[in-house]
């Protein structure tokens, strides 16, 4: 009897597992692409016949040996709602409220992931969010070493005041602009991950076909244990300039010494937060945080309180090599230091931490704010909020979290493969901040990814991206700029067909890598789509450098996308942001004047111009050249002199 019951349970489990179903994307409220063949797929029992119906069309097929089935419906025009249904002997599945319209894949890093709830004027936007025909599907974060077949989670959500806060802001504002012009359903298929490098979004096969990335792809780890070993070597090379260096426990005890050398440690301006964002991506285990404290002489003889932000695991605290505290504490840690516990002048404070207990995903480091880091005698405070050093404890047991940048291709495997070949009109891309240090290589990796995705989809769909905005310092060209070089790589990628770009240096925030004005960003993306995909005769593009000629001591710059002329957006009415250099390759800030659709650049310091640069800095706050249609000019340089990222490579 028990054996019969067991067989019955196994049969039911197998039947349930093999019951016919759709891929996760084909669920209630889905938007399917109009005017293109509509692939639909799912799983059933191996070899099982299935029937799939949509909007009066019926398709018969059979599941393959793995249980996967797929059909392709003839193109449909915008409309709905429809019902999508699959039936087989093993059961049936239905997706209700199916619309036919325009589908855009939104991908990239944090500025694409940035939600409407954190965008400018959120409360007003919520009031203007009742668009039941705009639907959003968010792909959850996941990395895998092998391609995934299907998504584990996710659902389509119609836009309204309750749901829109979780939508990608760039994607929603883009969709709303398109919807209000076309009045057709819009699907936002959102797959992005903050901080991700482009190499995570590229397939192994594409990397193998690329000279720059082939070696990396040939040595991809097969297991996460192998990946941890690779991460260990990368981190040791980063810190010690030697991937084979293997510090032992005796070596790491020296970190507690008042004479410890922090030369190889990872420096961080803000001690509070995950180590992942301080250059130590994914490390999980014990580690050391150190700071040199310049202590006032008049406080030495007084008892003080040392305040540290929260790490709720076991923590050890050393002042000048002496253990002054150990234990686990919830919340900010307050440590009483007796009189003469500090010495006059330089002191060495070392904190040994481990992974957070209540939030193990956080890893080592501290939660809270920099304001929790200080020393006080009750009247005065000595801030500890800046300039710390970090060092993992390699000699102790440790591992690496499976994050977006641990291994290349792994985001593609988990967050793009399950979407293929879902029919889309095109892709919106906002990424590059994490690749700025390898900007020259981005000239290859970015078009490689675009071509790779189009090949996987077997569709040369439109691909529009956001050029890096303004963040960081505004320095002259002689010092170089990673971000300017990344923008240049994005400009060069416009050579691919069916591509477009939104220039956003004028709506960025030099003090925040996440500018909240996503509305203007989305509008500039939307003009590309409205022009090229939907045939509206509207202005859509920023001025791009075309060519330079010289007349005496002046350089004359001509532009693409300036047919209606150029203008200045400045209350004083004169151009800024230009630099000019002669044969010595030394740049000088220059005067510039608009003449129709050209700009004349000159400087008394340069009698024979050889090169001109515009907005060539991380945060070109002075740049104020626009075309008459209101689009800001893209940063550019006329020279091809080696940049500061030319030798940086992905490892």
Phi (first) and psi of residue 274, to 5 degrees: -65, 140
Q: Hey, CA dihedral for 453, 457, 462, 465, is it positive or negative?
A: negative
Three-state SS for 609? Answer: coil
Residue 609 within a domain: yes
Query: Is there a contact between 389 and 289 (Cβ–Cβ < 8 Å)?
Result: yes
Query: Is there a contact between 335 and 273 (Cβ–Cβ < 8 Å)?
Result: no
Whole-number average pLDDT of the chain: 95
List, for residues 240-258, the tens digit of each pLDDT value.
Answer: 999 999 999 999 999 999 9
Query: Is there a contact between 416 and 450 (Cβ–Cβ < 8 Å)?
Result: no
Boundary residue ending a domain (385, 400, 415): 400
Contacts of 290 (CB under 8 A, 6+ apart): 255, 260, 262, 265, 348, 349, 350, 351, 388, 389, 390, 391
* Side-chain-side CA neighbours of residue 54 (13 Å): 31
**Segment 417-428 mean pLDDT:** 98
Residue 6, pLDDT > 70, answer no
With CA atoms as reference, report the closest residue to 424 among 124, 38, 137: 38
Query: Is there a contact between 235 and 244 (Cβ–Cβ < 8 Å)?
Result: no
Residue 5, pLDDT > 80, answer no
Say how far apart CA 323 and CA 317 lie, in whole Å.
Answer: 6
Query: Is there a contact between 621 and 474 (Cβ–Cβ < 8 Å)?
Result: yes
Instruction: Classify residue 198 by its DSSP letter.
Output: G
Say how far apart CA 291 and CA 271 lie, in whole Å.
Answer: 9
The pLDDT, as a whole number, for residue 185 is 98
Phi (first) and psi of residue 8, to 5 degrees: -65, -40
DSSP-derived secondary structure for 610-639? -EEEES-SSS-TT--EEETTSPBPPPEES-
Angle between the N-to-C axes of helices 482-492 and 439-457, in degrees from 0 to 180, rounded to the nearest 10: 40
List, for residues 157-176, the tens digit of each pLDDT value.
Answer: 999 999 999 999 999 999 99
**Segment 487-496 mean pLDDT:** 98
Instruction: Classify residue 452 by its DSSP letter.
Output: H
Percent of the chain with pLDDT over 90: 95
Q: Is 408 exposed, middle or buried (0-12, 13-18, 19+ CB in 10 A)?
A: buried
Give the tokens for residue 261.
């050398």
Domain count, the chain: 2
Residue 337 within a domain: yes
**Segment 235-239 mean pLDDT:** 96
Residue 283 within a domain: yes
Helix (H) or strand (E) holding 365: strand 365-366
Residue 3, pLDDT > 60, answer no
Say how far apart CA 126 and CA 372 lie, in whole Å.
Answer: 35
List, for residues 598-611, the tens digit of each pLDDT value.
Answer: 999 999 999 999 99
Angle between the N-to-C axes of helices 518-532 and 169-182, in degrees from 0 to 180, rounded to the nearest 10: 40
**Segment 286-293 mean pLDDT:** 97
The pLDDT, as a whole number, for residue 9 is 39
**Host domain of residue 366:** 249-400
Residue 17, pLDDT > 60, answer no
Residue 100 within a domain: no
Indicate which CATH number applies to the domain containing 351. 2.60.120.260
Give the tokens for residue 357.
């207990």
Boundary residue ending a domain (400, 430, 457): 400
The pLDDT, as a whole number, for residue 18 is 77
Say how far apart CA 619 and CA 625 lie, in whole Å.
Answer: 15
Give the tokens for residue 130.
């009742």
Residue 237 within a domain: no
Query: Is there a contact between 283 and 398 (Cβ–Cβ < 8 Å)?
Result: yes
- Report the first-to-last Cα separation within the chain, whole angstroms: 60
**Segment 302-308 mean pLDDT:** 97
Instruction: Classify residue 478 by its DSSP letter.
Output: G
Bond into 421 cis (ω within 30): yes
Give the tokens for residue 81.
């709602």
Residue 344 within a domain: yes
274-278, Cβ contacts within 8 angstroms, sequence gap of 24 or more = 274/362, 274/363, 274/365, 275/363, 275/364, 275/365, 275/390, 276/195, 276/363, 276/401, 276/403, 277/195, 278/365, 278/390
Task: Work out the pLDDT band at 227, boundaries 50, 70, 90.
Answer: very high
Residue 2, pLDDT > 60, answer no
**Segment 122-143 mean pLDDT:** 97
The pLDDT, as a whole number, for residue 7 is 41
Residue 13, pLDDT > 60, answer no
Q: Hey, CA dihedral for 165, 166, 170, 171, is it positive or negative?
A: negative
**Segment 425-441 mean pLDDT:** 97
Instruction: Classify residue 360 by its DSSP letter.
Output: G
- Which spans in 320-469 are helix H? 410-411, 439-457
Residue 441 within a domain: no
With CA atoms as reference, report the closest residue to 505 among 491, 492, 526: 491
pTM (predicted TM-score): 0.92
Beta carbons within 10 angstroms of residue 7's beta carbon: 10
Residue 555, pLDDT > 70, answer yes
Say how far apart CA 36 and CA 54 lie, in whole Å.
Answer: 14
Task: Work out the pLDDT band at 405, boundaries 50, 70, 90.
Answer: confident
The pLDDT, as a whole number, for residue 10 is 39
Say how far apart CA 26 and CA 3 lie, in whole Å.
Answer: 39
Boundary residue ending a domain (400, 429, 459): 400
Query: Is there a contact between 486 and 447 (Cβ–Cβ < 8 Å)?
Result: no
Contacts of 190 (CB under 8 A, 6+ apart): 106, 107, 112, 113, 136, 137, 138, 139, 167, 168, 171
**Segment 567-579 mean pLDDT:** 93
Q: Is 211 exposed, middle or buried (0-12, 13-18, 19+ CB in 10 A)?
A: exposed
Percent of the chain with pLDDT over 70: 97
The pLDDT, as a whole number, for residue 219 is 94
Give the tokens for residue 636.
């550019």
Residue 331 within a domain: yes
Residue 8, pLDDT > 60, answer no
Query: Is there a contact between 101 and 188 (Cβ–Cβ < 8 Å)?
Result: no
Query: Is there a contact between 301 and 357 (Cβ–Cβ < 8 Å)?
Result: no
Q: Give the residue, 13 or 69, on which the prediction is more confident.
A: 69
List, for residues 449-484, the tens digit of each pLDDT value.
Answer: 999 999 999 999 999 999 999 999 999 999 999 999
Give the tokens for residue 6.
């067991």
Helix count and strand count (H, E) for the chain? 12, 38
Residue 324, pLDDT > 80, answer yes
């Amino acid at each position: 009897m028990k054996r019969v019951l067991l067989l019955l349970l196994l049969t039911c489990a197998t039947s349930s597992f093999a019951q016919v179903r759709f891929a996760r994307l084909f669920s209630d409220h889905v938007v399917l692409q109009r005017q293109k063949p509509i692939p639909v797929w799912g799983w059933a029992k191996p070899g099982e016949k299935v029937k799939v119906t949509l909007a009066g069309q019926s398709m018969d097929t059979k599941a393959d040996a793995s249980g996967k089935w797929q059909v392709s419906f003839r193109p449909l025009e915008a409309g709905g709602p429809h019902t999508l249904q699959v039936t087989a002997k093993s059961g049936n599945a239905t997706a209700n409220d199916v619309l036919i319209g325009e589908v855009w894949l939104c991908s990239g890093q944090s500025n694409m992931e940035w939600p409407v709830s954190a965008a400018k004027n959120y409360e007003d936007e919520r009031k203007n969010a009742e668009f039941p025909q705009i639907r959003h599907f968010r792909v959850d974060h996941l990395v895998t070493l092998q391609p995934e077949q299907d998504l584990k989670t996710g659902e389509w959500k119609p836009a309204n005041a309750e749901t829109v806060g979780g939508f990608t802001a760039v994607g929603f504002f883009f969709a709303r602009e398109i919807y209000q012009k076309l009045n057709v359903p819009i699907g936002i298929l959102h797959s992005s991950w903050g901080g991700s490098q482009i190499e995570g979004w590229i397939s192994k096969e594409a990397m193998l076909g690329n000279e720059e990335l082939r070696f990396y792809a040939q040595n991809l780890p097969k297991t996460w244990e192998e990946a941890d070993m690779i991460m260990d070597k990368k981190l040791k090379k980063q810190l010690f300039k030697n991937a084979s260096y293997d510090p032992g426990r005796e070596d790491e005890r020296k970190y507690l010494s008042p004479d410890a050398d922090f030369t190889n440690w990872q420096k961080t301006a803000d001690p509070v937060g995950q180590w992942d964002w301080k250059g130590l991506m994914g490390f999980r285990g014990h580690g050391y945080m150190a700071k040199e404290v310049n202590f006032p002489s008049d406080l030495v003889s007084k008892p003080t309180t040392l305040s540290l932000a929260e790490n709720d695991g076991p923590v050890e605290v050393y002042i000048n090599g002496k253990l002054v505290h150990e234990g686990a504490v919830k919340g900010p840690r307050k440590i009483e230091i007796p009189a003469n516990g500090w010495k006059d002048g330089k002191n060495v404070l070392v904190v040994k931490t481990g992974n957070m207990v209540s939030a193990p995903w956080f890893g080592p480091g501290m939660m809270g704010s920099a304001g929790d880091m200080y020393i006080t005698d009750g009247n005065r405070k000595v801030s500890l909020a800046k300039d710390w050093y970090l060092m993992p404890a390699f000699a102790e047991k440790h591992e690496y979290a499976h994050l977006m940048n641990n291994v290349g291709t792994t985001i593609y495997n988990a967050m793009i493969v399950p979407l293929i070949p879902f029919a889309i009109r095109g892709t919106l891309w906002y990424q590059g901040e994490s690749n700025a240090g390898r900007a020259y290589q981005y000239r290859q990796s970015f078009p490689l990814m675009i071509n790779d995705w189009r090949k996987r989809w077997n569709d040369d769909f439109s691909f529009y991206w956001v050029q890096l905005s303004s963040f960081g310092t505004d320095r002259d060209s002689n010092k170089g700029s990673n971000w300017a070089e990344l923008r240049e790589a994005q400009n060069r990628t416009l050579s691919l067909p069916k591509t477009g770009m939104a220039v956003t240096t004028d709506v960025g925030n030099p003090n925040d890598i996440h500018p909240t004005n996503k509305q203007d960003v989305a509008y500039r993306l939307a003009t590309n789509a409205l022009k090229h995909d939907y045939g509206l005769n509207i202005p859509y593009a920023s001025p791009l450098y075309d060519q330079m000629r010289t007349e005496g001591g002046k350089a004359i710059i001509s532009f693409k996308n300036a047919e209606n002329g150029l203008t200045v957006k400045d209350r004083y009415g004169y151009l800024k942001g230009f630099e000019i250099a002669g044969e010595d390759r030394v740049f000088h800030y220059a005067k510039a004047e608009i003449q129709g659709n050209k700009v004349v650049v000159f400087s008394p310091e340069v009698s024979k111009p050889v090169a001109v640069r515009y907005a060539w800095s991380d945060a070109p706050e002075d740049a104020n050249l626009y075309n008459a249609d209101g689009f800001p000019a893209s940063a550019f340089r006329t020279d091809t002199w080696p940049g500061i990222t030319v030798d940086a490579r992905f490892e």
